[in-house]
Structure 1
């Protein structure tokens, strides 16, 4: 498993750069644009094509495409591999062009669908959302083709360059805030154009890299190609299952439009912080384990498949549990340190911290799902994750209504926290359901030592929590620290104290680096 660990480390290192750039971007976005009004319209207009990006790019397409790609690659026929990529690229481009065109034409309908609460005095935000959607929808074409290139590069062990593309996206968005936004009467419209430019630049970065492998696609209409049809059959069930977290976020976005102005923004900023551990490790782990599992399945190596899956689950929990706990304990300090400047008020900080605290409950589940879902896709089983996704979305909607509706009726200021809690709990449910299906199918046989592994991890988390809470109590309220350098300094100290305590506790209980490789 040392190869998987190295690949995950490379991906995570590049993703760390992206997350740092993302934090700078979010900090500037909150400081310059605040929350509510046209900024809420941009967040909805940004989330919809982002959801479709997860469907057509990083999620459904990749999960169906990579196993078929590796199956052809294992046969050693490079001409057949190039022919498949040519036809797949042509088919994907045709589909996303049609979807993007439909989105541009039906932008007002799409805006109404995902923000049903904006009516009356807030109807102006619907118009702003529709106008921004007409700009952000074409982004889907660039980012989907970029994801195809990234999937090919990942399958050949080239993880660094695809992992760098989000850095480019964030840097482009930062440039758009200062150069494009001031040129528009509705300043967030400049951010919408920044999204489109970022998609083009990301594709321009990856496309030439395929030429160095001799696999740069020539777009050929490929719907009749047998392997493209195979991908299509595998992809249809994954359209829903691979993007269940994004579906849940869109459900939350629609419900948030019924709440007070700014609710979408608070949930957005909370989700951005949740994405840090998921992007830094969860996505990295899922990205590198899918090609590995698909090769083990293609080689009929059941023991290797099981060992890789078991290793992935342990790594997901080893990082996911303390990450979720840390975000819960440091929700307000994190939000205050990163966002609480300029137009982003103390009230915005407290409201975002509420949703971050409860959404962080789901991080272990989100992290595990990044490993468990590829376990099915590697075997070209896309129907089982779809069943789990349908149940998960149903549970999320039920929990959202059950928790949020009473809070909204009673006029509770943090009613959006009910949406975040439902998202987190649904993430845990999705991971449990996927694992249960794996166990029932006999695809996961736990390796020895799970009980001792979990006990060490939980005791180390307890030690971490005590250290972080002690330091938090010493500092007091983060929002009263006027100097941003004090906020950053104390936050880094709290994070470092928690991380060092967690690692030291694991070492003290006998866990060693070699345990991460087997």
Structure 2
């Protein structure tokens, strides 16, 4: 393809909101969401442990969580936002009728899909859990599935509400909505601790108080998360009205959605393989894999997702105006910002590893070994954080251009790598190290996907300012390595000078807090000295805040 070109475009109708301001405000909300979310995971381990009950709960949550990650986490939102932006720009009513048709169809489709999933719950459990190993509990996983699968309706509605609000430049309340969910889950776990029962005795009777409290309470949290944004919809001027007529763009959306369904199915295939392998390993492997994944996503969720959510409407406007150069500029800026924000954190998670697991999860019913397993699983997968974020950025570029086929093809490649290497893990690893191999493979698949996505975009758009990204990446690697070295020195000194008999939990917290803060200071300080220009907006904002004082 020829060099990137600027096509004729009309002047923008209104100024776009500051990317730094929009992503910064969302980052605060996302930070609160992630903190409360992780607190709920820690309480789950403390109250329930990381054995067969938690593994079964994780399996029951797999399908709704997959919907969350693939829909609310970006795919459905990324498809709808460009279409909504175009409707607002092209329609005399600002896209109101188009929104109402979406709001009419979505609940019906989601409810039908949920009913089918619930009828197939025993079959789904058989697919996800290898009952022949004798280490899993398929009946308990099925019982949880019956209680948790209704979340699909509200995950889908929440994704649609969020997309509509984002297209109108409203980011605040949707970013805070998960906090309400997490608070409901924390209350649920408190009630779980108080009620009697043993979910493992006869789970399919669906009468055990602990089973019902944990399942219904978790689902209620998702209901609250979806519905809490309705006041923001009203303030944004969005009025619900049943509108069953057809719009030509619904055909366009349907075509994009079919590719999205293919994308989702491919993702589920990868999850099924990993889940079957993990549940056949030592008890707690599935919990370790999922909790390490949630820790892995924490930096991306706070920083990366906020940035991508803010940049998506802006990129969609550039694509709608056929502004190829603007799309490439947004891709380059987003990729460089993701690298500078996430690479130092990736290096930190790699060296903190098991200490982070002990600090967060060595409480209550959870043992030291299980806590270390979660942390080590995170450490071996942390290298995939930046490739994962870059891949999410690349997908949004394709969606902004109304191309859902290419992301599905990239997903096919990524899942093929994931499944192939996961099966290889079964052949070369024992049941105790299996979860480490699965986590490593997951991150490796992201690396392959990021490289393939870059090649695909180069063919599609021409030059991608790869040189600027390479410079930023190289300088950030140097700063990140220096920061990681600082963490290692703190860890070594703590082990050397800690009094004999000091609790592993105390040592872990010292390393995580002191080493983490020092490591970040060294990493970002080194990057400033190396003149990583992508840090300038953040440093200017900090300087202004200090001057006000």
- CA contact under 8 A between 1:51 and 1:247: conserved in structure 2? no
Greater shift in the superposed pair: 296-305 or 331-340: 296-305
Matching residue of 1:508? 529
Partner of 2:453: 434
Alignment coverage as a number of residue pairs: 511
Structure 1's unaligned 5+ residue stretches are: none
Which of 299, 320, 324 does residue 302 from structure 1 map onto? 324
1:144 positional shift:
1.3
Matches within 5 A, 1:145-160: 145-160=157-172
Among 399, 404, 429, the residue aligned to 1:382: 404
For residue 400 of structure 1, give the secondary structure of its aligned residue in structure 2: helix
Q: Report the equivalent of 1:51.
A: 66
Tell me how far apart the structure 2 counterparts of residues 446 and 480 of structure 1 sit (CA, whole Å).
54
Aligned to 2:490: 471
Whether the aligned pair in 2 keeps the contact of 1:184 and 1:190 (CA below 8 Å) is no
Kept after mapping to 2: 8 A contact 1:404/1:415: yes
Do structure 1's residue 208 and structure 2's residue 231 form an aligned pair? yes
Deviation of the 1:494 alpha carbon: 1.4
> What is the alpha-carbon distance in structure 1 between the residues aligned to residue 288 and residue 455 of structure 2?
34
User: What secondary structure, in the 3-state scheme, does the structure 2 residue paired with 1:78 have?
Assistant: coil
1:129 correspondence with 2:141: yes
Matches within 5 A, 1:432-471: 432-446=451-465, 449-471=468-490
Cα deviation, residue 122, structure 1: 4.7
Residue 366 (str. 1) matches residue 385 (str. 2): no
Offset from partner CA, 1:314-364 (integer Å, 9 cap, x none): 011112322221111111111111111111101102222232111212111
Q: Does 1:422 align with 2:445?
A: no
> Take 2:166 and 2:418, find their aligned partners in 1: how far apart are those partners?
32
Q: Is the 8 A contact 1:392 1:429 kept in 2?
A: yes
Distance 1:261 1:390 in 2: 30
Could you report, residue by residue, the CA deviation over 1:414-434 in whole angstroms, capped at 9, with x for unpaired residues?
221111111010011111111
Q: TM-score, normalised by structure 2?
A: 0.87
Structure-2 separation of matches of 1:426 and 1:28: 31
Counterpart of 1:163?
A: 175
C-alpha distance in 1 between matches for 2:501 and 2:120: 46
Shift of 1:266: 1.1
Q: Does the 8 A contact of 1:11 with 1:163 survive in 2?
A: yes
1:488 corresponds in structure 2 to 509
Q: Secondary structure at the match of 1:330?
A: helix
Kept in 2: contact 1:471–1:494 (CA 8 A):
yes
Give the equivalent residue in structure 1 for 2:151: 139
Q: 1:311: which partner in 2?
A: 333
> Where does 1:10-409 land on structure 2 (aligned, <5 Å)?
10-75=25-90, 77-78=92-93, 81-115=95-129, 117-119=130-132, 121-122=134-135, 125-180=137-192, 182-183=194-195, 185=197, 186=199, 187=210, 189-221=212-244, 224-241=246-263, 248-408=270-430
SS of alignment partner, residue 194 of structure 1? helix
After superposing the two structures, state which structure 1 stretch, 207-216 or 104-113, moved more: 207-216
Verify the 8 A CA contact 1:340 1:346 in the aligned structure 2.
Answer: yes
Tell me if structure 1 keeps the 8 A contact 2:36–2:183. Answer: yes
Q: For residues 533 and 341 of structure 2, what CA distance do their matches in structure 1 show? A: 15
Could you tell me how far apart the structure 1 residues matched to 2:528 and 2:22 are?
Answer: 24
Contact 2:148 2:216 in 1 (8 A): yes
1:139-164: CA deviations, max 9, x gaps?
Answer: 11122112211111111221111111
The 3 A distance-change label for structure 1 pair 219 and 344 is farther
SS at match of 1:200: helix
Instruction: Work out whether residues 476 and 532 of structure 2, in 8 Å CA contact, stay in contact via their aligned partners in 1.
Output: no
> So what's the TM-score if we normalise by structure 1?
0.92
Shift, 1:399, TM fit: 0.7
CA contact (8 A) 1:59 1:243 kept: no
What's the C-alpha RMSD, in Å, of the aligned pairs?
Answer: 2.5
Indicate if the aligned counterparts of 1:100 and 1:138 stay in contact, CA closer than 8 A.
yes
- Check whether the contact 1:149–1:206 (CA below 8 A) recurs between aligned residues: yes
